[in-house]
């Protein structure tokens, strides 16, 4: 065997060994607290040093975003809410202004079922605090007063960097969009650092890009009971999965369960739904849509999903029936084979629904 042939064989063997190492490179994980919940970062296809550096950078990003959008701690959002209540024209902080603009568009698409302007209602119900205990529902009269004021994002006029509000009942609460937008920004930052395979998961709401060393990311969806797994989804390329459930923030009063997802039409916690899971390529949209469809409930989720451009929906109603569109049914693997399932009409034309 010639020297050239031996050298070629050695080079080929080295390349195969390197390829095998790359395929089996471990996934690097990190955790930190953000937006009041545990945030998990999983990164594949890079060295441990690069992954650790990226996770540290994201932890700093989330700390800044948490402070900027906190609904009741001192910061840019609370200052903005004070100025909105005064009705004066002011230069809005850039971090808040961007979310105001995104929120207004998504609120319109959802028929205001996603409505970040109802912060006073959320506060009235006792959900704007770190610990929820020993609570009782607010008086009906107080709810009716805020409901009559009808705060919406349309009450806020935006002119360049300036904003003004003509309805003193408006108080912004980005609890149903801030996490999603933060995850989108985190994915952008990862890509700027040259990372193309990762999951950013904040309390079960996530966006996944790329793959797990060539295999699709496998995502578990929590049961509406708040514990256990309802089923699994596989994700490749770039998708977000967000779930809104009545198990997240709630309390009991005289044997009745009150949760934090307030229906802007009634002023009370939304009824008829236990959880909603949506898939979308944009985490900001997925976050807002999960809340809007939860409020829309079993009768109207299909209409609102179409308006918001959502192609995959799983809704568990108060009777524990799983409602989903055909595209979601094809992708979602239920753990309980006895689960009652109702499949809706397609959200888009059947020939264009993803398989």
- Quote the pLDDT of residue 227: 78
Dihedral Cα 69, 70, 72, 77, nearest 10 deg: -20
Q: Which of 22, 251, 45 is nearest to 131 (CA)?
A: 251
How many CA within 13 A on the CB side of residue 123?
A: 18
Q: Which of 215, 102, 216, 213 is nearest to 153 (CA)?
A: 102
- Quote the pLDDT of residue 25: 66
Cα separations in angstroms, 142 against 57, 133, 207: 44, 20, 38
What values do phi and psi take at 273, rounded to 5?
A: -130, 140
Q: Tell whether the torsion through CA atoms of 91, 96, 99 and 105 is positive or negative.
A: negative
- Quote the pLDDT of residue 26: 87
Residues of the chain with CATH 1.10.3980.10: 76-165
1 CB contacts (<8 Å, ≥6 apart)? Answer: none
216-343: CATH topology:
T-fold (3.10.520)
Q: Is 157 helix (H, G, I), strand (E, B) or coil?
A: strand
Compute the distance between CA of residue 85 and CA of residue 171 in angstroms, rounded to an integer. 8
- Quote the pLDDT of residue 3: 39
Q: Give the DSSP per-residue string, 201-262.
A: EETTEEEEEE-BTTB-EEEEEE-TTSSSEEEEEEE-EEEEEEEEETTSSEEEETTEEEES-B
Residues of the chain with CATH 3.10.520.10: 216-343
What values do phi and psi take at 240, rounded to 5?
A: -115, 140
Compute the distance between CA of residue 262 and CA of residue 85 in angstroms, rounded to an integer. 21
Compute the distance between CA of residue 238 and CA of residue 246 in angstroms, rounded to an integer. 27
Dihedral Cα 207, 209, 214, 217, nearest 10 deg: 10
CATH class for the region spanning 76-165: mainly alpha
Inter-residue contact 207 to 185 (CB < 8 Å): no
Q: Which of 347, 351, 241, 273 is nearest to 303 (CA)?
A: 347
Over the chain (355 residues), what is each successive 10-residue block's mean pLDDT?
39 38 72 95 97 98 97 96 98 97 98 98 95 88 98 98 97 98 98 98 97 94 88 92 93 93 98 98 98 98 98 97 98 95 88 45
* Helices marked H in the chain: 3-23, 48-69, 76-86, 94-109, 119-124, 140-149, 178-192, 283-308, 326-331
- Quote the pLDDT of residue 304: 98
Compute the distance between CA of residue 173 and CA of residue 333 in angstroms, rounded to an integer. 34
């Amino acid at each position: 065997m010639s020297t050239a042939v031996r050298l070629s064989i050695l080079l080929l063997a080295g390349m195969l060994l390197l390829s095998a190492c790359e395929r089996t490179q471990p996934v690097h994980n990190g955790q930190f607290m953000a937006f009041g919940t545990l945030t998990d970062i999983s990164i594949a296809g890079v060295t441990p040093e690069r992954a650790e550096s990226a996770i540290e950078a994201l932890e700093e990003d989330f700390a800044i975003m948490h402070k900027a959008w906190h609904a009741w701690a001192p910061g840019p959002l609370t200052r903005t809410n004070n100025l909105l209540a005064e009705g004066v024209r002011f230069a809005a902080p850039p971090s808040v202004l961007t979310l105001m603009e995104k929120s207004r568009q998504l609120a319109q698409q959802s028929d205001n079922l996603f409505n970040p302007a109802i912060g006073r209602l959320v506060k009235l119900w006792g959900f704007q605090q770190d610990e929820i205990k020993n609570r009782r529902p607010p008086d009906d009269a107080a709810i009716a007063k805020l409901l009559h004021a009808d705060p919406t994002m349309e009450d806020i006029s935006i002119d360049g960097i300036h904003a003004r509000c003509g309805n003193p009942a408006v108080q912004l609460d980005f609890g149903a969009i801030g996490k999603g937008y933060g995850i989108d920004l985190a994915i952008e930052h990862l890509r700027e650092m040259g990372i193309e395979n990762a999951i950013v998961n904040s309390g079960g709401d996530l966006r996944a890009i790329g793959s797990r060393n060539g295999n699709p990311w496998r995502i578990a969806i929590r049961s509406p009971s708040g514990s256990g797994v309802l089923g699994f989804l596989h994700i490749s390329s770039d998708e977000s999965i967000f779930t809104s459930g009545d198990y997240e923030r709630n309390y009991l009063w005289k044997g009745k369960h009150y949760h934090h997802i307030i229906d802007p039409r009634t002023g009370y916690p939304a009824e008829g739904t236990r959880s909603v899971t949506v898939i979308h390529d944009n985490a900001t949209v997925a976050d807002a849509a999960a809340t809007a469809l939860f409020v829309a409930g079993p009768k109207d989720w299909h209409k609102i999903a179409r308006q918001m451009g959502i192609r995959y929906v799983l809704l568990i109603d108060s009777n524990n029936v799983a409602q989903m569109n055909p595209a979601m049914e094809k992708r979602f693997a239920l753990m309980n084979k006895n689960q009652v399932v109702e499949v809706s009409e397609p959200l888009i034309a059947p020939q264009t629904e993803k398989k």
